[in-house]
Structure 1
C-alpha cells in the first residue's frame, strides 16, 4: 500500500476511533446517571430546603410591616410547596397551618410526604427574635420521572445518531470500496481483463482497485508470453508423445516376439522327452522346464494385456482366484533355488481357497514374499508358508529361519530402499515395500516380527466381494 493509502487509512481510522470513544463515554454517563438517581434526588431536595430557608431569612432581615412580611411568606409557601409558621415575640406574623403550636405542628403532617420538617430561632437585623417552623413537601415523582426519562431518551437518540454515523463511515470507507474491489477481482478471475478498469482513489481500497488494474495490464502481457511458451511446450510434448508411442510399440513387438522362441522351445522339449523316455531324472527336468516355459508364456500374456490398457482405465481386473494354486505354482518356480540353498520349504493350507483380487497383483505379491524368503533364509534352514481363512479375511504367514535379527529395524522394514545388513549384495530394499504397497492397495494389512529362531511376515487380505462390472473366473 503506498503512502497516500496509509495517510487516508490513518485519517478515517482516527475519526472512527474518536466516534467510538464518544459513544462509550455517553454510555458510561447514561449508566452513571441512572445509577445515581437516588443521590441526585437527595441533592435536589437539600438544595430546595436550603433555598426556602434562605428566602425566609431574607424576608426577616428585610423587615417591614407584618402584613408585607406575611404576604412574602405566603408567596414562598405557594411557589415552593412548603408549610411555614413565623412567630414574633409580640404575635404570630404568618401561618399556613391551622395552628401555631409547634408541638401540634410536628404531628399534624405525616413525615412520609415531607422531605424536611424543623423549627429554629432567628434574630433579625433589628434584634427581633423570631420562631420559625418549616415543612417542605417531597418533590413530585412524576416530575422527577419526566426529567430522568427526557435525559435517557435524549441520550439514546444521541447514541443512535452516533451508530448511524459510524455505519455511514464504514460503508463509505470500507463496504462500498470492497464491493468495487470484489467486482474487479471477479472480472479478473473470469479473465475479463478488459473490463477491469481503474477507479477514482476515494479510499485505500479504491486505490487497491487502481493497483489491481495495473496488475491486470501486467498479467495480460504475461498471459500473451505464456501463450507463446505454452505453444512451444505443447509442441515439445507432442514430439515426446510420438517418441513414447514409438517406444511403446517397439516394446510390444519385442514382448510379442518372445512368444515365438518359447513356442519353439515347447516343441523341442517334446522332442527331447521322446529321446529320453524311460530316464526319470531327465524327464523330471524336462517337466520343470516345460512348467517354467508355460509360466513365462503367461507372464508375457499378462504384460501384453497391461500394455493394451487405455490411458486412465483401471489396470486391475479383479476375479475369483485360487490363492493356494498360485502359491503352489510360485513355489514350483523357486524350487531350484530352494534345492541349491538346501532350504526346506513347507506349505500348510486347504486344498482350495478363493479370494476376489486381481490375479496379476496376487502373483506379484506371492512372488515377492517367496523371493524375500529365499534371499534371507539361512542356508540349510526352513521356510514355512501357512494360509488359512479367518472370518472375512485370508491370513498368509511366511516364516523363515534367521538366527541374527539384531540388524533388522522392524519399524522401518517396509520403508522404500531399506535393507537389513550387507550380507546379501543383491538386496534392493524394494521387495518389502512392494509387498506393503500391494497389500494396502487391496485394503489389507501386513506385519513383520521376530518369532522363535527366525522372522514371520503376516499378511491379511479381505476375501472381497464381486461388484457390478467386475470379471469373474
Structure 2
C-alpha cells in the first residue's frame, strides 16, 4: 500500500521532472534540427560554389555536361543559366517548383552565393544560387536544389532517436522518482508513527540513525524526546508514589494519636505526649508542603531571584554566626574561612537557604566532636564555595541520585531526623537558578564535601 505522502511527493517530483525534461528535449531537438538543416544548406551552397569555380576556370560545353552528369548521379540537382536566367543545362528534368525558383528575379547576389529557399517543412526543395563570371563579366548562375524529402527523412530518424531517448528517460525517471520518494518518505512515516505512539503515552520509541543530515537530526531528536518523556513519566510516578508515602506517614501518626488523645480514660500527661507527637508530625508535614511549594515554583520558573552584589567573606561569616549555636548544642566545631575579597551576584535570602540547608545536613549526619568547615576562594576563573563535614558520608552508589526528590540514603534514619528528602533537590534548583553548579564528593565514614561554583561579580 502506497502512503499518501509517498504518492504526493512522487507525483510532485514526477511532474516537475517531466516539465524539465520536456523543456530540455524541446530546446535540444529544435537546436539539432536547425543545425542539421543549416549544415545541408551550407553544403548545398558550397557545392554550387565549387561548380562555379570549375565553370570560371573552363567554361565550355564539356564542362557544362560534366557538371550536369556529376549531379545526375548525386542526391542533388543543378541548373545552370545565363545572366538573363535562361536555362543552359540541368542535371535532370526541371519541374514546376524548380522553375519557380529559377524564374525569381535576382538582385545583388554575393560572390559566395545565396540561399534562395530554406523552408524545408512545406517546400519540396531547398535551393541556393551562386553567380559565375567569364572574362570578368557576369555570365550566369549556378542553381543547386536538394529535395526536402531527404531532409525530412533525416529529421524523422532524429525524431525516432528522440522518442526512444524520451521513453528510456521516462522509465528511468519513474524508477528514480519511486526510489527517491520512498527513500525520503520512509523515515518521515516512521517518525509520524513514533510521534503517534508518543501522543498515546507509549515511550518505547527507537528510531534508526540516519546520518548527519536534517532527517538524521530529527530522528535522533525524537528518540531523545521519547527517552526524556519516559524518564519524566517514571520520575512523575516515582514522585507521586514517594509523596503519597511521605504524606501518609505523618497523617497516619496524626490521625492515630488524635484518636488516642480523644479517649477519656488517659491521663493528662499521656494526652500531652500524644499532642506533642501530633504537633511534631504536623510540623514535618508543614515543612514538606513548604518544600514542595518551593519546588513547584522553581519548576515553573516562578521563584523570584533578586540578585544583589554581596561581599562573600562577610556574608558567610554572618551565616556561620547564625548557625554556631546549633553546632555547639551538638558539641561540634564550625570553622569559616575566606579572607579574600570576593564579590558575587546572589539573592541573600535564597542563598542563605542553600548554605543553611547544607550546614543543617552536616549537623544531622555528623557525630559530636567533629568539625564542619565552610570557605570561599577563587579557582579556575570562578568562585568556589566549599562545605566539608566529617560525618557518616554517602555510599558511592548513592551519589548520582543524591539530588533526586525524596531520595534518601537511609530512609528510616532520615525520617527520624525529620528530613523530607527534598532539601538537596531544592539546594540544587536554587544554585542553578543563580547560574551556578553544585557538586558532591563523599566517602563512607570519611565525610562529605559540597562544592558550589558561581560567577564572580565583575566591576
Please give the TM-score of this superposition, normalised by the length of structure 1.
0.36
How does the TM-score come out when normalised to structure 2?
0.36
- Higher Cα Rg, which structure: 1
